[in-house]
Amino acid sequence: MSDPARPRLDPPDLPPETPAFWAHFWTRGVTPWDIGRAHPVLDDEADALAAGLASRDAFVPGAGRGHDALRLADAGWHVTAVDFSPEAASCVAQALEALGGVYRVADVFDVDVSGGFDLWWEHTFLSALPPTHHRAWADTAARAVRPGGCLAALLFPTDKPAADGGPPYRVDLPLIDDLLAGTFRRERDRSVPPGTGHRSFGQHYAVWRRD
């Protein structure tokens, strides 16, 4: 079975943190990281993540076609989804707005997120970023999530050799624990059965609570 996170086109000779890199795939209709629906783990967790929260404001960075954003909105979350690819936004912006959410075409790191969210839903955004951007990711998450809120992550790929580079780049629990240390504490985690979402690389689900 092919791995949906492995591009079936040769990537362009451009930095992966730029819109032009991803437009190369969107405009060709080849988006192998997209499983075509909300991740099955989110089906289980969309309601549970709201337990104990006074509000349901969710942030979905690197939202792509917005499958996860729409699933959260359908579960009653007020969703702000962001992706810097206009090609991605065209697929979902109107549908998300109909559910009370908003889809912004922007660089996540340029968005004012200060204290605005109860949930950061992480799925294939961090793994798309070069390691040089990891600290910016962690600092942005710390600003975005309100005290008592959470960062929930579907980590993928967890077992790709780091030497293989990316995107997608390897992400795993030790990496996230280190990036979030001092601001978030890991509350729970569980393994994701092999093949879930038709992926051959390893996956893991975890939730970190904002102190």
CATH code, domain carrying 81: 3.40.50.150
Check if the beta carbon of residue 32 is closer than 8 Å to that of residue 10: no
DSSP letters along 137-206, please? HHHHHHHHEEEEEEEEEEE--SSS-GGG--SSPP--HHHHHHHHTTTEEEEEEEE--TTGGG--S--EEE
- Domain assignment present for residue 6? The answer is no
Average of per-residue pLDDT across 156-165: 93
Q: Predicted confidence band at 172 (pLDDT cuts at 50, 70, 90)?
A: very high
User: How many domains does the structure of the chain reveal?
Assistant: 1
Residue 19 domain-assigned (yes or no): no
Is 108 a domain residue?
Answer: yes
Buried residues in 131-164 as b, exposed as e (16+ CB within 10 A): eebbeebbebbbebbbeebbbbbbbbbbebeeee
The 10s digit of each residue's pLDDT in 36-46 is: 899 999 999 99
Asked if residue 90 is part of any domain, the answer here is yes
Could you tell me the pLDDT band of residue 21, with boundaries at 50, 70 and 90?
Answer: confident
Q: Which residue has the higher pLDDT, 36 or 137?
A: 137
Residue 147 in this model has a pLDDT that exceeds 90: yes
* Segment 76-94, tens digit of pLDDT: 999 999 998 887 777 799 9
* Residue 73 domain-assigned (yes or no): yes
Does residue 203 lie within any of the structural domains? yes
Give the model's pLDDT for residue 86.
84
Provide the domain limits for residue 56: 40-210
- Give the model's pLDDT for residue 9: 53
- How would residue 1 be classed by pLDDT, with cut points 50, 70 and 90? very low
What pLDDT score was predicted for residue 127?
94
pLDDT cut 90: percent of the chain above it? 69
Is 31 inside a domain boundary?
Answer: no
33 lies in a domain? no
Mean pLDDT of 165-175: 93
